[in-house]
A and B are shown apart, each in its own frame.
Chain A
Amino acid sequence: MLKYVAKRVLLGLVTIWFIASATFFGMHAVPGDPLAGDKATTAQIRANLAAKYGLDKPLATQYWIYLGNIAQGDFGISYTQENRKVNDIIREHFPVSATLGILAIVFAALGGILWGALTALYRNRWPDVVIMFLVILGISVPSFVVAAISQWSLVNLNQGVGATVLPIGGWGSIWHMLVPALVLGLSTMAYLTRLMRSSLLEVVNTDYVRTAKSKGLPATRIFSQHQLRNAILPVITVLGPAIAGITTGGFVVEIVFAIPGLGRYFVQAIQQLDYTVIMGTTVFYGAFLVFMVIAVDVIYGFIDPRVRVDQ
Chain B
Amino acid sequence: MAYPTIYATIWACFFRNLPISTSSPNKQLAQFFALAFIAVAALMFVLHYAGSALSGGNQNAIAVDPANNSIAITLREEPPQLDSSRATDAISGMVLGHVMEGLVRMGLDDRLEGAVAQRWEVTPTHATFWLRNDAKWSDGKPVTAADFVFAWQTALKPETASQYAFLLFAIKNAEAINQGALDPKKLGVFAPDPYTLVVELARPVPFFAKMLVFPSFLPIREDFYNATQGRFGAEADQLLYNGPFVISRWVHGASMTFERNPHYWNQDEIHLDAIHVPYITSDATASLNFFKDAKIATTGLQAENLTEAMRLGWQIRQHRDGTVFFMEMNHRPEHPTSNLKLRQALQLVLDMDELVYKVTKLPGYEPGVSLFPGWLMGEAAPLRQEYPPTRITPDPAKGKMLLDQALQELGLSEPPTLVLLSGDNPIASVQAEWVQQTLKTQLGIEVKIDKQIFKQRLAKMTAGDFDLVLAGWGPDYNDPLTFGDLFASWNKNNRGQYNSAELDALVNKAQSNVDPAVRMAAFGDIQQHLIDNAVILPMYERGVTYVVDAKLKQLKRRVIGPDPDFSRAYIETGSD
Contacts and interface: CB of A to CB of B under 8 A. Distances in A.
A164 B289 CA distance: 13
Nearest to B493: A40
A93 to B, nearest CB: 6
B217 interface: no
Given A36-B455, A37-B88, A224-B13, A173 B281 contact: no
Contact of A51 (B161, B179, B253): B161
Contacts of B280: 258, 260
A81 B231 CA distance: 12
A155 B285 contact: no
B1 A121 contact: yes
A221 B329 CA distance: 76
Interface centre among A38, A96, A154, A167 (most CB of B within 10 A): A38
B281 to A, nearest CB: 4
Given A92-B252, A103-B43, A155-B292, A171 B54 contact: yes
A159 B292 contact: yes
Interface string A41-70: 110110011011000000000000000000
A163 to B, nearest CB: 11
B74 interface: yes
B107 interface: no
Interface in B247-290: 251-255, 278-283, 285-286, 289-290
Contacts of B51: 96, 99, 171-174, 176-177
Contact of A255 (B40, B162, B231, B281): B281
A136 B283 CA distance: 27
A45 B281 contact: no
Interface residues of chain A: helix, strand, loop or mixed (majority): helix
Contacts of B55: 170-173, 176
B180 to A, nearest CB: 8
A81 B462 contact: no
A52 B161 CA distance: 7
Contacts of A167: 59
Contacts of A92: 54, 252-253
Contacts of B16: 225
Contact of A272 (B7, B59, B455): B455
B173 to A, nearest CB: 14
Nearest to A81: B80
Contacts, number: 223
Contacts of B25: 220
Contacts of B5: 220
Contact of A260 (B54, B175, B293): B54
A95 B54 contact: yes
Interface residues of A, number: 75
Contact of B456 (A32, A49, A121, A172): A32
B44 interface: yes
Interface in A60-113: 80-84, 88-89, 92-93, 95-96, 99, 102-103, 106, 113
Contacts of B252: 84, 88-89, 92-93, 260
A66 to B, nearest CB: 19
Contacts of B474: 38
A2 interface: no
A99 B282 contact: no
B279 to A, nearest CB: 4
A207 interface: no
Given A30-B456, A103-B47, 16 more contacts: A31-B456, A31-B459, A33-B458, A36-B462, A52-B161, A96-B51, A96-B254, A114-B7, A148-B286, A169-B279, A172-B57, A172-B59, A173-B51, A176-B51, A224-B9, A228-B9
24 contacts: A31-B460, A40-B493, A40-B495, A45-B161, A48-B159, A49-B161, A81-B78, A82-B86, A93-B252, A96-B51, A96-B254, A99-B51, A103-B43, A155-B289, A168-B293, A169-B289, A173-B48, A174-B51, A177-B47, A224-B8, A224-B13, A255-B282, A256-B286, A261-B253
User: What 8 pairs between A and B have smallest CB-CB spacing?
Assistant: A172-B55, A32-B455, A224-B9, A40-B492, A260-B254, A83-B234, A260-B253, A258-B279
Interface of B: 1, 3, 5-10, 12-13, 16, 25, 40, 43-45, 47-48, 50-52, 54-57, 59, 74, 78, 80-83, 86, 88, 158-166, 175, 178-179, 231-234, 251-255, 278-283, 285-286, 289-290, 292-293, 295, 453-456, 458-460, 462, 474, 491-493, 495
